[in-house]
Structure 1
Amino acid sequence: MRTLLVTATEASTGKTAVALALAELAAERGLSVGYMKPKGTRLQSNVGKTLDEDPMLAREVLGLDAEMHDLEPIVYSPTFIEQAIRGREDPGELREQVRESFDSLAEGKDLMVIEGGGKHTTGGIVDLTDPEVADLLDAEVLLLSKYRRGGDVDDVLAAVDDVGDRLLGVLFNAVREGDFDGLDTEVVPFLEGRDVPVLGVIPREQQLAGVTVEDLAAELSAEQLNDAPGDAFVERFLVGAMSGDSALRHLRRTKDAALVTGGDRPDLQRVALEAPGVKVLILTGGFRPPGAVVGAAEEKGVPVLLVQSDTLTTIERAEDVVRSGRTRDAETVAAMRDLLHDHADVEAILGDGEGGQLGDGETETRTDDDTDTDGADE
């Protein structure tokens, strides 16, 4: 049996979608596949009520019948962290708990896919960072990273050092079109020159990067004040706390954005409607805008959402919705599966690199220079 741990240089890098998509691809090759997320990091409250939908999605997508307490044995909440700092959590007992859950889930499996929690360093307080989990479970490590600027390579190299000899390779995810050339012609050769295999470059897809206005409204318990469609995607949030003229200059430079401002700022609301990149107005404090604003927004196809919370609370909640990937579902996993098939060396990831069984009766022998990143910039 092989064990593959999917970790990342930072949170919200697509670990769930990649982990489950790889599990699906392995299952299509005839392998019996299990899943585990040792540290639950997507939480509803500080006391540890878990909101982590990843294991539940894994059960749905992979047809698992495992119990949640095995799929996610540790709820890594702020309260848990505080207790650990105070010495009230025993790292040895926690490691044994993770190991026992793993052994139960791994019975009869050809491949276990382990999803990391947060970023690769999460869990250090109890000696359960992702590299330490990999050592505990004898796992190979696939390291995910985004790429926006050259300095991101520092984070990749630091994570590679932490993972050590268990590194299978690096997978760049959600890469914008304008960043492909530099990544392909400079960064990939640089990393491979340092003996860091790059196993794929996944392009950014809007379906996987944002949240629809409709979903956002549901998560914020917002009232929609007009009949504009809610299918536009939102990826960023702007706080409307400036004057109309300066706001317009700023708003015209953005795209796929939500403007969050008080319902008592009709001047700013009108200005926002002149910016094509603003896809929705989110009005806070329960203040209803003038009817003329609502009507103008509907003519332009811009939904107007009304929430009772203040602007800061609304921004924090909205950003959390996008970060936590609340749009993730079986369709999202299917989209990632297609992306991996087209832009990653799936055989290098799912094969054992030493003539290992791929699940279809064939074996593959891979040498160090068989890693293929061709097509990553297609």
Structure 2
Amino acid sequence: MTDTTTTLVTATGEHAGKTAITLALARLAADRGRSVGYMKPKGTRLRSNVGKTLDQDPMLARDVLGLDAEMHQMEPIVYSPTFIEGAIRGTEDVAALHDRVREEFTALAADRDHMFLEGGGDWTTGGVVDLTDGDVAELLDARVVLVAGYETPADLDEVLAAAEAFGDRLAGVVFNKVSETAFDSLDQDGIPFLESQGITVFGAVPREKELAGVTVGELADELGAELLTDAPTDAFVERFLVGAMSGDEALRHFRRARDAAVITGGDRADVQTAALDASGVKCLVLTGGHRPSGAVLGKAAEAGKPVLAVNTDTVTAIDRAEAVVSGGRTRDARTVDRMTELLAAHVDVDALV
């Protein structure tokens, strides 16, 4: 290896905020006068672009950190469903993959003080080719920062399992997206418990609506939806609900929701009406290419709630919406700016970088 300090940012689950945290840490290290580099050994956040499958995270890293590395260096393995199928059939040479990751890393790290590696998926992703984040940390001699969520004490099970797997390579844990209601439990019980187990906790970043959700407008863009109303589309959506029950049952279900989009068939006027009556529902997503009745559109206009229409079936719409909403706000430089501020305010950055 090199004299470069290497930090691998991994997570207990997907959509934990790894990208924003990895790039914010790199920026904070750069602010301290260090030359930094970035690598995501396994590309998992895939979107086809001009016939090539690309992960958006390295592209954002190149932009935000001002790097000139090539995509194939920053992301040597495209961890796609096709790649995984080939790997389990034995068509991938595991030793050659490890060599490729090591060689690209060595080239990227050659003139850098600090390399930041982003894990793919969660910490177990990559096992079929012996490239879990633990394997990558061993291969590239990296110390590991684990990003975790916290809603209840039961969430510490995942942290302990990951900590045991990483062993001495684990530098510590950063909790992210912690809600106000969970903060006291984490601060008073969770963190002291982990520290009693010999696990360092660098800090806890509070949940930020602007980072946790997507706007209705962003959701519409990502789904390729037609807007059927001219209501404002700047409300935030953090979850989605499926309207597959009767109107009365739907209304009870929707009334408990907060910052939600309701996905239902375009022909389900009873469910649409119930959704529009619930204050926590921010928009309707109607599937199947059906247009709702004039009465429903009138009610939506009165309530100031956007109605989105997609031509896909409900199951496809659910899958796509889940990917958009759980992925959080469309990742861009502003997200990294805000995360940089949050880490500086809530986390022991000096210990991290």
Same fold (TM over 0.5): yes
Match of 1:303 in 2: 306
Aligned pairs (5 A) from 1:64-143? 64-143=67-146
Cα distance between partner residues in 2 of 1:284 and 1:322: 17
Partner SS, residue 108 of structure 1: coil
Cα distance between partner residues in 1 of 2:327 and 2:129: 24
* 1:324, distance to aligned residue in structure 2 (A): 3.2
Match of 1:38 in 2: 41
* 1:322, distance to aligned residue in structure 2 (A): 2.0
Match of 1:239 in 2: 242
**Residue 189 of structure 1: which of 188, 192, 200 is its match?**
192
Following superposition, which runs of at least 4 residues in structure 1 exceed 4 angstroms of deviation?
A: none
Aligned pairs (5 A) from 1:344-363? 344-350=347-353
Indicate if the aligned counterparts of 1:71 and 1:101 stay in contact, CA closer than 8 A: yes
Cα distance between partner residues in 2 of 1:222 and 1:191: 45
**Residue 256 of structure 2: which of 222, 246, 253 is its match?**
253
Cα distance between partner residues in 1 of 2:109 and 2:78: 20
* 1:235, distance to aligned residue in structure 2 (A): 1.1
The one-character-per-residue Cα deviations of 1:196-236 (angstroms, maximum 9, x if unpaired) are 00001010011111111001101111110110010011111
Tell me the amino acid that sits aligned with residue 111 of structure 2. Answer: G
Indicate if the aligned counterparts of 2:227 and 2:307 stay in contact, CA closer than 8 A: yes
Cα distance between partner residues in 2 of 1:34 and 1:150: 35
**Residue 54 of structure 1: which of 52, 57, 60 is its match?**
57
* 1:42, distance to aligned residue in structure 2 (A): 1.3
Report how many residues are paired. Answer: 348
Match of 1:367 in 2: none
Match of 1:370 in 2: none
Cα distance between partner residues in 2 of 1:82 and 1:132: 20
Tell me the amino acid that sits aligned with residue 207 of structure 2. Answer: R
* 1:267, distance to aligned residue in structure 2 (A): 1.6
Indicate if the aligned counterparts of 2:143 and 2:170 stay in contact, CA closer than 8 A: yes
Consecutive unaligned residues in structure 2, runs of 5 or more: none
Aligned pairs (5 A) from 1:334-373? 334-350=337-353
Partner SS, residue 217 of structure 1: helix
Indicate if the aligned counterparts of 1:42 and 1:50 stay in contact, CA closer than 8 A: no
**Residue 287 of structure 2: which of 284, 289, 292 is its match?**
284
Match of 2:178 in 1: 175
Provide TM-score, normalisation by structure 2: 0.97
Tell me the amino acid that sits aligned with residue 123 of structure 1. Answer: G
Cα distance between partner residues in 2 of 1:323 and 1:349: 27
Partner SS, residue 33 of structure 2: coil
* 1:49, distance to aligned residue in structure 2 (A): 4.5
Match of 1:333 in 2: 336
Match of 1:230 in 2: 233
Indicate if the aligned counterparts of 1:40 and 1:50 stay in contact, CA closer than 8 A: no
Provide TM-score, normalisation by structure 1: 0.90
Cα distance between partner residues in 2 of 1:348 and 1:191: 17
Match of 2:166 in 1: 163
* 1:298, distance to aligned residue in structure 2 (A): 1.5
* 1:326, distance to aligned residue in structure 2 (A): 5.6
The one-character-per-residue Cα deviations of 1:141-187 (angstroms, maximum 9, x if unpaired) are 00011011211111101100111101110111101110001101111
